[in-house]
Structure 1
């Protein structure tokens, strides 16, 4: 059943209205739903309801809440993926898949070795496109929240936010080359429910030693197994490992 997000808290005593143009278009023109059709709505308070369409007009769709759905699809820990800018199609694929795997937020950073450069005048347009990709992936994967995304012009700016996190992990390919296999596993085992984790990944050219040094006193440098992963693959590996450790292993 098709799922949509609504920017309100749930209240079974009232009727709700879907007003976002893209959602109205999808419901009426793509899915071809009509009055009486059922959809799933996810609310700001992370509650999920089976709803019935009560009325459709050109600028809004009225829905009535029918049955609460008791589900939890969020990772036990709050993971922010901070990664260097990479080629557009690869980064958009990364956003889609990382959203499916449970990332809570994204930070796109223009790093020293980033081949791709983002013009300041185009930042707002890019973020709008990225957020749309994230929203659609969140709906498809039954997420309870839509991950956020922001852009920073260099990694130094992230240093000002380190107090917001319980753990900062830096995925560094030199660690993998040197055979380091234990730091990531040991750190994963320390994560507790609701911990906030920042994971930093380089672009195609990797992180520079200068960028690594920015977090030398506040982070754990980890290798992600014995193989060298692509820039768009490494975050997915990390999220999968976190899911395995904290969801499947309990």
Structure 2
């Protein structure tokens, strides 16, 4: 069933308004007409099954048929910090990460970054990425749209590590080394220290992924000093657009979201 996100103010006691591009898409593309039903969410606390009363390309007015539970979000809020990759790879990370359950995305600059960052283009790119996150959230029936944060410098990213319950730094040498630590081991060690505290049930987690060139030893040392745990993703070298998706899936499994823990 089609799903749309709207601003909280578009919800009324018994009705919802769909406006702008969403109304145009519903009427012109989906051929929505009075009587049709779809799901609407305010991205915060309310999700509802609605029935269309009036429909134009400018605005749709729909009656709330039933309030639905907001239960599709993972218990752990996992943010993917992705060093800026070249081309449209960031779009893939955001699209698939949103489908899987990422809480937010933090693009950042790193030493071996291939792409040349242009701050003048940042607003337009973030607007594009936010649209991709919205569409993926609708497709996957999320209850919220992941936030796309402004591009961080390396120092800004390091300074943010302390605000998370757990930060994992994806480092290929951890996958190669005989005594390397994988994400599963890192998470289980962290859980063992929590002693069933609230943080273990509703953890705020940061997953840090490098660009095409990976991370330098200096960056790994600085991340570890800031509180991140160096963790590998196996013995194979993953593409930058693959690493975050794999890491996110591993974390959700270990949290019990996908049958783990």
TM-score by length of 1: 0.92
Matches within 5 A, 1:53-68: 53-68=52-67
Matches within 5 A, 1:154-165: 154-165=153-164
Give the CA deviation at 1:7: 1.5
Q: Indicate the residue corresponding to 2:111 in structure 1.
A: 112
- Structure richer in helix, relative to its length: 2
Contact 1:169 1:198 (C-alpha < 8 Å) held by counterparts:
yes
Q: Indicate the residue corresponding to 1:16 in structure 2.
A: 16
Distance 2:11 2:130 in 1: 27
Q: What secondary structure sits across from 1:229 in the alignment?
A: coil
Give structure 2 stretches of 5+ with no counterpart. Answer: 192-198
Contact 1:180 1:223 (C-alpha < 8 Å) held by counterparts:
no
Matches within 5 A, 1:168-247: 168-180=167-179, 182-189=181-188, 190=191, 192-217=200-225, 218-245=227-254, 246-247=256-257
Give the CA deviation at 1:153: 4.7
Distance 1:182 1:119 in 2: 35
Distance 1:46 1:213 in 2: 40
Identify which range, 91-100 or 41-50, moves more after superposition: 41-50
Q: How many residues align?
A: 249
Give structure 1 stretches of 5+ with no counterpart. Answer: none
Identify which range, 206-215 or 108-117, moves more after superposition: 206-215
TM-score by length of 2: 0.89
CA shift in 2, pair 1:228/1:42, >3 Å: same
Give the CA deviation at 1:241: 1.2
CA shift in 2, pair 1:101/1:65, >3 Å: same
Distance 1:75 1:180 in 2: 31
Contact 1:80 1:107 (C-alpha < 8 Å) held by counterparts:
yes
Indicate yes or no: 2:1 matched with 1:4: no
Identify which range, 62-71 or 89-98, moves more after superposition: 62-71
Give the CA deviation at 1:120: 0.9
Distance 1:29 1:11 in 2: 23
Contact 1:14 1:64 (C-alpha < 8 Å) held by counterparts:
yes
Identify which range, 46-55 or 119-128, moves more after superposition: 46-55
Give the CA deviation at 1:188: 2.4
Root mean square deviation, CA, Å: 1.9
CA shift in 2, pair 1:42/1:178, >3 Å: same
Distance 2:43 2:208 in 1: 28
